[in-house]
Amino acid sequence: MAEETIFSKIIRHEIPSDIVYQDEQVTAFRDISPRARVHVLIVPNKVIPTVNDLEPQDKVLAGHLFAVAKKIAAQEGIAETGYRLIVNCGADGGQEVPHLHMHLLGGERLKGFGFNA
């Protein structure tokens, strides 16, 4: 069993957070240190430390992260204006919390990614 992080406590509602969506597979909550007007983290309820730890049986769950991202983008009113989805992996990827999560960023014109500078 992979070690739990603070995200597991958030998922179990043991510590406060601004949860915007939750179902049996994933929980989505606002980032404590938002990098854009909308910054939501979409997190599998079970602990999967990084993308490297995804197993074939997690395929549906991995796809569900995208489905939930789409749903929250609509909920937040940014589906039409656009948004960015980011999954960091490991040290070079800048991953700080070893519990797989997808960042949903939007609500403003995003910069700083290089490709669209």
Q: How far is the CB of 30 from ligand 5GP (least distance, A)?
A: 6
Q: How far is the CB of 61 from ligand 5GP (least distance, A)?
A: 18
Q: 56 or 94, CB closer to ligand 5GP?
A: 94
Note if 103 is an active site residue.
no
Look at the block and give the residue holding tokens 């983290």: 41
What does the binding site for ligand 5GP look like in residue numbers (CB under 6 A)? 6, 17, 29-33, 41, 88, 94-97
Q: Distance between CA atoms of 71 and 60, rounded to whole angstroms?
A: 16
Q: 38: exposed, middle or buried (C-beta count within 10 Å: 0-12, 13-18, 19+)?
A: buried
Of all residues in the shown chain, the one whose CB is closest to ligand 5GP is 32
* 79 φψ region: left (φ > 0), alpha (ψ -120 to 50), beta (else): alpha
Q: Distance between CA atoms of 96 and 90, rounded to whole angstroms?
A: 8
Q: How far is the CB of 51 from ligand 5GP (least distance, A)?
A: 11
Write down the catalytic residue from 64, 99, 101, 103.
101
Which positions are catalytic?
101
